């Protein structure tokens, strides 16, 4: 029995969604025009959308109340098209409409590895990487087989390779994410190290660390509790105890800590918040980044966050290599074209606002630079290289 027939047999008349109708009419759009906008937004947001005729029919059913908006794709499309939140368009969404008993998110892992120009050339050839760019920086990029999700490999000409791993997750709480993060970090570093060594034929590449960014699609909480959850997502390790038990941290203990912090609030001076109220919530810390678009049409896009972190991690790894050589009692050796003058230019590009840069992009960039301390690393590396150049 169809939902329309079911409503008739039960003697209930469907309740139209006057908000959706008013928003569409305010733009001067018919249902066909809104369906075409959904198709355009779907490409922009990397969503798989139905055929135009199917979307036109769905819009009619949503507006007339003959069907509830349960599909996450349609929720995101309506929010993007009308630049509004789910609450503004559909009222309070309960668990039956949005599966909000869990956190739905995309985990972005960034794994930088210093190779040097020689091994980088070998990598580009053997991995069949093709020319590309990240913001203002030229690079080579290609797909890499990874068992747990999508992986792209970026090779930057100053001798650094960065793996970008994207994995779709649904977790019941942030404590579970913290445990998963801890368990997979070592495996990810080992995998990246082994992969590069096998491909290049050298035993020198080593992945020292992983940095994560979490793009939150849906959450079981709202209001102040959601703000607290986003801070926890930017540094989930605070939920884990630091005991020396060989079994590792306890999930039960982490869940209790999470419940307490969600109830009482969590603030940390090491977290920089860069969201815009009503549009997005963004948090950056030394440990990672979290971002939740609330008005998809006005918020940052995934590529904005990914490109920023790719560049920051590639430069951070390069500076670390310079510092590492000095700490070993050696004068740092780098390619001539990537000496102190190049670092000076990079520092200016990163720290000075661009004419066409939006306020959201500028806020994100400042938060990432401050919490990663990349600015300090660039300045120190610049001074070290200038001292050894004799200029």
Residue 262 pLDDT: 93
Nearest of 207, 268, 209, 264 to residue 236 by alpha carbon:
268
**In the chain, what are the domain boundaries?**
3-98, 103-389
* pTM (predicted TM-score): 0.73
- Going by pLDDT thresholds of 50, 70 and 90, the confidence category of residue 7 is very low
Whether the Cβ atoms of residue 234 and residue 225 lie closer than 8 Å to each other: no
Whether the Cβ atoms of residue 129 and residue 155 lie closer than 8 Å to each other: yes
Backbone angles phi, psi at 388, to 5 degrees: -85, -15
| pLDDT per residue as tens digits for the range 132-176 | 999 999 999 999 988 777 899 999 999 999 999 999 888 889 999
Backbone angles phi, psi at 323, to 5 degrees: -65, -40
**Region for residue 101 given its phi and psi (left: phi exceeds 0; alpha: psi -120 to 50; beta: otherwise):** alpha
Q: How far apart are CA 255 and CA 211, in angstroms?
A: 23
In 86-157, which residue ranges form alpha helices assigned H by DSSP? 86-90, 95-98, 116-126
Residue 391 pLDDT: 67
Tell the burial category of 316 from Cβ atoms under 10 Å away from its Cβ (0-12, 13-18, 19+). Answer: buried
In order, the DSSP letters of 300-345 are: PPHHHHHHHHHHHHHHHHHHHHHHHHHHTTS-----GGGSHHHHHH
Least confident of 49-53, 99-103, 158-162, 208-212: 99-103
């Amino acid at each position: 029995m169809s939902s329309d027939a079911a409503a008739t047999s039960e003697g209930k008349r469907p309740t139209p969604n006057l908000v959706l109708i008013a928003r569409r009419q305010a733009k001067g759009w018919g249902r066909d025009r809104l369906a075409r906008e959904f198709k355009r937004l779907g490409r922009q947001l990397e969503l798989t959308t139905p055929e135009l005729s199917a979307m036109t029919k769905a819009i009619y059913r949503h507006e007339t109340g003959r069907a509830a908006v349960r599909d996450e794709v349609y929720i995101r499309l309506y929010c993007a098209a009308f630049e509004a939140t789910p609450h503004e368009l559909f009222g309070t969404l309960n668990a039956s409409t949005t599966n909000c008993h869990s956190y739905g998110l995309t985990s972005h892992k960034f794994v930088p590895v210093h190779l040097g120009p020689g091994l980088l050339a070998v990598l580009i050839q053997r991995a069949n990487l093709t020319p590309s760019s990240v913001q203002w920086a030229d690079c080579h990029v290609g797909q890499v087989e990874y068992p747990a999700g999508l992986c792209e490999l970026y090779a930057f000409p100053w001798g650094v390779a960065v793996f970008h791993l994207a994995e779709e997750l649904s977790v019941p709480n942030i404590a579970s994410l913290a445990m998963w993060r801890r368990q997979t970090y070592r495996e990810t570093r080992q995998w990246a190290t082994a992969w590069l060594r096998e491909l290049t034929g050298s035993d020198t590449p080593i992945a020292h660390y992983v940095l994560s960014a979490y793009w939150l699609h849906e959450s079981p909480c709202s209001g102040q509790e959601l703000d607290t959850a986003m801070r926890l997502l930017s540094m989930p390790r605070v939920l884990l105890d630091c005991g020396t038990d060989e079994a590792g941290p306890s999930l039960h203990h982490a869940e209790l800590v999470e419940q307490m912090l969600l109830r009482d609030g969590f603030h940390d001076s090491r977290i920089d918040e860069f969201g815009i109220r009503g549009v997005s919530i963004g948090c950056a810390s030394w440990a990672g980044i979290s971002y939740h678009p609330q008005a998809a049409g006005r918020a940052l896009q995934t590529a904005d966050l990914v490109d920023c972190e790719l560049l920051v991690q590639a430069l951070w790894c390069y500076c670390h290599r310079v510092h590492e050589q000095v700490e070993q009692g050696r004068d740092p050796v780098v390619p001539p074209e990537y000496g102190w003058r190049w670092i000076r230019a990079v520092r200016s590009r990163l720290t000075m606002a661009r004419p066409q840069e939006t306020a959201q992009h500028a806020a994100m960039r400042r938060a990432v630079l401050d919490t990663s301390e990349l600015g300090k690393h660039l300045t120190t590396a610049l001074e070290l290289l200038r001292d050894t150049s004799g200029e």
